Amino acid sequence: MTGDLFTGLARDPSMETLTEGALLLRAFVDEDEAIRLMAAIDTVLEASPLRHMQTPGGFRMSVAMSNCGRYGWVTDRRGYRYQSRDPLVERDWPAMPSLFAALAGRAAAAAGFAGFDPDACLINRYEPAARMSLHQDKNELDMTQPIVSVSLGLPATFLFGGMARTDKPQRMRLESGDVVVWGGPARLAFHGIDPLREGEHALTGRCRYNLTFRRAR
């Protein structure tokens, strides 16, 4: 099957530079690949289920998370970090599906980051009202490595700030199949997600998934 699950029409892929180092690849993932990605996500989540982690300040995150790959990003009262073990099931995180690694490599290469070899993939699930406040991703060792993000399911309003928390963020819509590669000067930009609006998507139901591929170590 090809094309959008609702309309049967495929969105046209396009590339847009958001700011130096940040490349938005609209509809980089087509519906067939999106279906295969969701199946792989489900398999990962059977081994390492989604959970609402605690921030160091003691708040429960509204986004439910899991990971795959050599390392996973976690937060609890002790802080933010990457670790090879899933603290919920007390086993290593599931391996990164080859489909995931291939997609991340293809997207990074399209953005000029040849040889991107992620060792961590954070899986975020947003239900209506879930959000992520402005933050920087700075728990990774090598900031010359990009982060590749993949959106699936319900659309979200992405907040794209500057290098200072107080810079007024731009808002843009991320839709299912959109991929963004964040490297170079954009790597340490502040970013977040507005509260997810109610909706229903043929691929994911009442939620949005976001995959972020990272080189943690």
Using the rule CB under 5 A, is 31 a contact of Fe ion? Answer: no
Q: Does residue 213 contact residue 65 with C-beta atoms inside 8 Å?
A: no
Give the residue with the Cβ less far from ligand MD3, 187 or 201: 187
Judged by CB under 5 A, the number of residues near Fe ion is: 1
Give the residue with the Cβ less far from ligand MD3, 8 or 136: 136
Closest CA to 65 of 83, 52, 79, 82: 52
Whose CB is nearest to ligand MD3? 210
Give the residue with the Cβ less far from Fe ion, 13 or 192: 192
Among the listed ranges 10-18, 46-54, 130-138, 195-203, the one in contact with Fe ion (CB under 5 A) is 130-138
Query: Of these, 31, 137, 140, 178, which contacts Fe ion (CB under 5 A)?
Result: 137
* Residues of span 146-175 touching Fe ion by CB under 5 A: none
Joined together, the tokens standing for residue 132 give: 């992520």
Who's near 178: CB < 8 A, 6+ residues apart?
24, 25, 26, 27, 28, 29, 150, 151
Among the listed ranges 2-10, 59-67, 95-103, 137-145, the one in contact with Fe ion (CB under 5 A) is 137-145
Q: Which residue has the tokens 């489900």?
A: 42
Backbone angles phi, psi at 98, to 5 degrees: -60, -30
Q: Does residue 11 contact residue 4 with C-beta atoms inside 8 Å?
A: yes
Using the rule CB under 5 A, is 140 a contact of Fe ion? Answer: no
Give the residue with the Cβ less far from Fe ion, 191 or 201: 191
Q: What residues make contact with ligand MD3 under the rule CB under 6 A?
A: 122, 124, 132, 137, 147, 149, 180, 182, 186-187, 189, 191, 193, 210, 212
Provide the minimum distance between the beta carbon of 124 and Fe ion in the complex, in angstroms, as a whole number: 9
Backbone angles phi, psi at 166, to 5 degrees: -85, -5
Give the residue with the Cβ less far from Fe ion, 192 or 199: 192
Backbone angles phi, psi at 128, to 5 degrees: -50, 135
| Residue 129 burial (C-beta neighbours within 10 Å; 0-12, 13-18, 19+) | exposed
- Contact residues: Fe ion, CB under 5 A: 137
